[in-house]
Amino acid sequence: MKILLPVDGSECSLRAVDHLITHVGWFRDVPEIHLLHVHAPIPIGRVQAHVGKETLHAYYLEEGQAHLVDAQQKLDAAGRFHTTHIHVGQPAEVIARLADELACDLIIMGAHGLGALAGLVMGSVATRVLHLAACPVLLVK
């Protein structure tokens, strides 16, 4: 069983981590957990004239790690081995694509995250993942 666990550092995404830890007994075998943070891309345009590619990459990596730290600590404390992924792109699309690439059996994620206002305007990431993902999606409130 492969599980993709996307987190954005929000309380709701951390509840999804807690839910997995609490209910890991649901699975016959110990699941392979893939922890993911997707950073929305910074509009490149004029930014690259002032910021180098390496600096931008370092920024994405630093921000991604900061959003993952609480989830990593929870999984580590529960003794749950996990692989960490940091990607840049449109969150829902990246989540669905990575779940496909990794052949995940399940995506467990928060029903809403840090982008609540944007979710009202454009539709939430969770809703979009439900439409795009080929595997089951478990949303945690």
pTM as predicted:
0.88
* Percentage of the chain lying above the pLDDT 70 cut: 88
Q: Tell how far CA 37 is from the center of its chain.
A: 4
| Superfamily (CATH H level) for 2-140 | HUPs (3.40.50.620)
Task: Report pLDDT digits (tens) over 114-128.
Answer: 554 544 444 489 999
> Taking phi first (over 0 means left), then psi (-120 to 50 degrees means alpha), and beta for anything else, what does residue 4 get?
beta
Q: Crossing angle for the helix pair 91-101 and 125-132, nearest 10 degrees?
A: 40
CA dihedral 126, 99, 138, 134 (to 10 degrees): 90
On the question of pLDDT at 49 being above 50, the answer is yes
What mean pLDDT is predicted for residues 23-48? Answer: 86
Task: Report pLDDT digits (tens) over 68-88.
Answer: 999 999 999 999 999 999 999
Residue 83 near residue 19 (C-beta atoms within 8 A): no
Domain ranges of the chain: 2-140
